[in-house]
Amino acid sequence: MSPTRRAAVLGSPIAHSLSPVLHRAAYDALGLTGWEYGRHEVGEAALPGFLAELGPEWAGLSLTMPLKRAVIPLLDEITPTAASVEAVNTVVLTPDGRRLGDNTDIPGLLAALRERGVQQVERASILGAGATASSALAALSRICTGEVTAYVRSEARADEMRGWGERLGVAVRTAPWERAAEAFAAPLTIATTPAGATDALAAAVPDRPGTLFDVLYEPWPTALAGAWADRGGAVVGGLDLLVHQAVLQVEQMTGRSPAPLAAMRAAGEAALAAR
């Protein structure tokens, strides 16, 4: 028998995605036996055709790179949160055929920080300037009362981050990557860089660090996160972000709330341990 409802994660590459593990764990915990969550390798060029072929059994999609911006022209509506960073990671497909886009990365970042007791900071640092950095900046616009410093590798990236700051109403100062160790003086540092990019900074972690949010979840812990924890600092990891943003996706796609955070996190941890 075919499932009554379907959802999936799309992107390229996509084989590494933990989203199926998290969403399926939620379906099991919620008793949604008629739901299926898949994984599809889809690039920008193939996205319009993929969406056009979706039938009424489809409830929603999770999107990763390179689709978060490419999908926007294909949607009927996006939320203010998604519009603020021009990035959609969640598409809800309504029974009347509408495609509604949202960004759960931003509230997911905030929820992961709240879980570690970070409600507000007077200043913060961001390592990197990619798409995740803009989401981090959007999250900081809600909890940071002072300046955000972004450590970047090029003047073009610096201009981009200052532009996002103006758009989001955040005071953003930029500094070259060569000075990235200075980021650790802030009470909150968010690392948004690819695997290995911050390894050389591990030796620069101060004796009494604040909070580190490292958005990677594999490999884990990163060299930076390990050194941070060894010095007694609070560490928020990429799995925390992934789980919290997936919780919001499950709630939107299924209409069931609250989503089972603990069951989803446990499934994610088990999947990572088995890799």
Active site residues: 68
What is each CA distance from 95 to 34, 55, 57, 77, 234, in whole angstroms? 16, 10, 9, 15, 43
- The rounded distance, in Å, linking the Cα atoms of 72 and 78 is 8
* End-to-end Cα distance, the chain: 31
Residue found under tokens 């949160």: 81
What is the residue type of 53? E
The closest alpha carbon to 81, from 122, 124, 142, belongs to 142
What is the residue type of 152? V
- The rounded distance, in Å, linking the Cα atoms of 93 and 195 is 33
Residue found under tokens 């959007």: 138
- The rounded distance, in Å, linking the Cα atoms of 80 and 256 is 22
What is the residue type of 127? L
